Amino acid sequence: MSVRHGLLALLSQGPSYGYQLKVEFERRTGDSWPVNVGQVYNTLDRLERDGLVERGETDGDGHVFYAITESGAAEARSWLEGPVVRGAAARDELAVKLALAVTLPDVDPEAIIHAQRVATIRSLQELTRSKAAGGDPDSPEEFAWQLVVDALIFQAEAEVRWLEHSEARIRRLQARTSAGGAAGGTTASAPRTAPAELPAPTTASVR
Amino acid sequence: MSRDRIGASELLRLDAVSMHYGAGENSVTALSGVDLSIKRGELVAIMGASGSGKSTLLTIAGGLVTPTSGEVIIHGQYLRDAKPAQLAAIRRRTLGFVFQDFNLVPALTAVENVSLPLELDGWKRSKARRAALDALHLVELDDRADHFPDDLSGGQQQRVAIARAVVGGRALILADEPTGALDSQTGELVLRMLRSRIDEGAGGILVTHDARHAAWADRIVFLRDGRVVDESRRDDASSLLAAGA
Ligand SMILES: Nc1ncnc2c1ncn2[C@@H]1O[C@H](COP(=O)(O)OP(=O)(O)OP(=O)(O)O)[C@@H](O)[C@H]1O
Ligand SMILES: [Mg+2]
């Protein structure tokens, strides 16, 4: 998403000026996405250039009002009604790091998983705590904020599940390769110390 | 080992607990050398793959199973030394247990299932029923109080089991996958309720596969092959609900 679509959606409710748009945008997204007023003006300029909004009157206080055009309204509608497509998902840093780690002989991918899991769970705990401590969910601002926090909570949860899934896959692979390889391999119940730290990430040349 | 000095606020302690099922060739090590301490106001979540020992840990903590080695101490009482009657009293009065398979009595209605432990503990029938209805209200099951378990959905049965574990203000709540059959909204309702019980001074262990639910705990412990491999603590000890709600 962009601020651009958010402003268009707001302007589809009626003409407004820059500062008012900034305040409304932040309020309606539960203050989860602060924007500065300069960013709003730049976006309005681009929307005007693209014919999606028109500059209207200036009021007594010098506020320049912008109104949505017909093609702007169509754009706002199609953004609201269309699905969000997440383009860069395949380039998730964590997934790439783990994929590389599995191929590097002196890196323990399970250590990466453990360190990440502790960190992700901790942020999940923080999000949960701030949600639990939140105010009255009947106020529109609080409700908007909680929707956004929920999204972050579900994303963190998904990451933990993926980490566990990956750990299980890696262990299964290791069990298979060690069963086929040298004798006297470690059994699944052999004591194993938990790696406390990530191996230094820059040991191997990854270029 | 150290049979002294159990802090007054410590509700439960596991000292070097190991559990082997079976013997010889078929012996399974379900837990090895697990230490765990639960204080008042503390909720600990246990996560780990299927078969990692979570339910075993919980049944041992609740005195339902005696570990092969190690000690379990509840409220300063070493379970190994407790007489059967003492053990039964601890289970009735102090412990609330949510079983993975709910364990409801099929011949009793929802409210009777919930009031049963109170009546066994000598409560008057009418008072126990009132407390049970309050507990069912917390899990939003007021309108199913007089239904039998067989006539309830899986998630409703699970909520009855949860109400039974918290009724009468138990000091130590041990819950095995208490949200396994619940949708995410209802699951959150249960976690909020559990959390507020804990904040009022109870302690608890929550076994869960769901990181979103584990995140309501103060500490999250990961088990693998019967050992603690990771632990995540909240940075400060302030209560989750302290700031509001
Ligand atoms: N009564 C029993 N007799 C023999 N082995 C058992 C018994 N109960 C559990 N085990 C074994 O002990 C190990 C741990 O079991 P446990 O039920 O504690 O796992 P869990 O972590 O609760 O798994 P799940 O997530 O599937 O509920 C498993 O390998 C299991 O097969
Ligand atoms: Mg289990």
This prediction's pTM = 0.80
d(CA B176, CA B101): 9
Nearest to B62 by CA among B45, B79, B47: B79
Q: How many CB pairs under 8 A join A and B?
A: 74
Taking a C-beta distance cutoff of 8 angstroms, is the pair B63, B210 a contact? Answer: no
Pick the residue whose CA is nearest to atom 1 on ligand 1.
B21
Best of B54, B68, B222 for a ligand 1 pocket test (most atoms within 8 Å of beta carbon): B54
Report how far ligand 2's centroid is from the alpha carbon of B91 (Å).
Answer: 20
d(CA A207, CA B240): 45
How far is CA B50 from its chain centroid? 18
- Residue B234: inside a domain, yes or no? yes
Buried b (16+ CB within 10 A) or exposed e, A5-15: ebbbbbbeeee
- Residue B2: inside a domain, yes or no? no
Ligand 1 neighbours, Cβ below 6 Å, are B 21-22, 28, 30, 48, 50-56, 100
Residue A199: predicted pLDDT: 38
Pick the residue whose CA is nearest to atom 26 on ligand 1.
B50
pLDDT band per the 50, 70, 90 thresholds, residue B4: very low
What dihedral angle (degrees, nearest 10) is formed by the CA atoms of A7, A10, A14, A15?
Answer: -30
A165 interfaces chain B, CB cutoff of 8 Å: no
Pick the residue whose CA is nearest to atom 29 on ligand 1.
B51
Taking a C-beta distance cutoff of 8 angstroms, is the pair A157, B210 a contact? Answer: yes
pLDDT in tens, B114-162: 999 999 989 999 999 999 999 999 999 999 999 999 999 999 999 999 9
- Higher pLDDT pick, B82 / B7: B82
Taking a C-beta distance cutoff of 8 angstroms, is the pair A75, A8 a contact? Answer: yes
Residue B14: predicted pLDDT: 96
H/E stretch holding A47 reads: helix A37-49
By C-alpha distance, the chain A residue nearest B223 is: A194
- The amino acid that residue B93 corresponds to is R
pLDDT in tens, B52-107: 999 999 999 999 999 999 999 999 999 999 999 999 889 888 999 998 889 999 99
Output the CA–CA distances (angstroms, integers) from residue B91 to A42, B3, B82, B85, B174, in the order listed.
Answer: 67, 21, 12, 10, 11
- Domain membership of residue B136 as a residue range: 40-52+82-220+227-244
**Are A125 and B232 within 8 A, CB to CB?**
yes
Nearest 5°: CA angle at A148, between B48 and A155? 30
Report how far ligand 1's centroid is from the alpha carbon of B53 (Å).
Answer: 6
What ipTM does the predicted assembly reach? 0.80
- The amino acid that residue B126 corresponds to is S
d(CA B147, CA B166): 20
Specify the 3-state DSSP secondary structure of B16: strand
- Residue B70: inside a domain, yes or no? no
d(CA A56, CA A44): 12
Taking a C-beta distance cutoff of 8 angstroms, is the pair A120, A160 a contact? Answer: yes
Taking a C-beta distance cutoff of 8 angstroms, is the pair B172, B152 a contact? Answer: no
d(CA A19, CA B243): 32
Q: For residue B221, what are its two tokens?
A: 């412990």
Nearest to A157 by CA among A123, A200, A131: A123
pLDDT in tens, A72-116: 999 999 998 888 877 666 568 888 899 889 888 888 999 999 999
Q: For residue A70, what are its two tokens?
A: 């017909």
> What beta strand segments (E) does chain A contain?
16-17, 53-58, 64-68
Nearest to B113 by CA among B146, B89, B155: B146
Q: Say how many C-beta atoms besides its own lie within 10 A of residue B63's C-beta.
A: 22
A171 interfaces chain B, CB cutoff of 8 Å: no
- Residue B20: inside a domain, yes or no? no
Can you give the residue ranges of every domain in chain A?
3-81, 89-179
Give φ, ψ of B237 to 5 degrees.
Answer: -95, 5
- Residue B19: inside a domain, yes or no? no
**Proportion of chain A in helix, strand, coil states, percent, rounded to 5:** 60, 5, 35
Give φ, ψ of B100 to 5 degrees.
Answer: -60, -35
Evaluate the CA torsion angle B205, B206, B207, B213 in order and state its sign. Answer: negative
B98 interfaces chain A, CB cutoff of 8 Å: no
d(CA A177, CA A76): 54
Residue A105: predicted pLDDT: 86
pLDDT band per the 50, 70, 90 thresholds, residue A180: low
- Residue B65: inside a domain, yes or no? no
B242 contacts on A by Cβ (under 8 Å)? 133
- Residue B75: inside a domain, yes or no? no
Residue A190: predicted pLDDT: 40
Checking if the pLDDT of A142 tops 90, the result is: no
CATH architecture of A3-81: Orthogonal Bundle (1.10)
d(CA B49, CA B63): 23
Mean pLDDT of A22-43: 90
Evaluate the CA torsion angle A194, A199, A201, A207 in order and state its sign. Answer: negative
Taking a C-beta distance cutoff of 8 angstroms, is the pair B218, B233 a contact? Answer: yes
* Beta partners for residue B29, in sequence order: B20
Output the CA–CA distances (angstroms, integers) from residue B45 to B178, B186, B218, B220, in the order listed.
Answer: 12, 18, 8, 5
- Residue B235: inside a domain, yes or no? yes
pLDDT in tens, A56-75: 989 989 999 999 999 999 99
H/E stretch holding B188 reads: helix B184-199
A window 56-115, beta carbon within 8 A of B: 114
Number of domains composing chain B:
1
CATH number of domain containing B192: 3.40.50.300
Which atom from ligand 1 is nearest to the alpha carbon of B100?
27
Report how far ligand 2's centroid is from the alpha carbon of B32 (Å).
Answer: 16
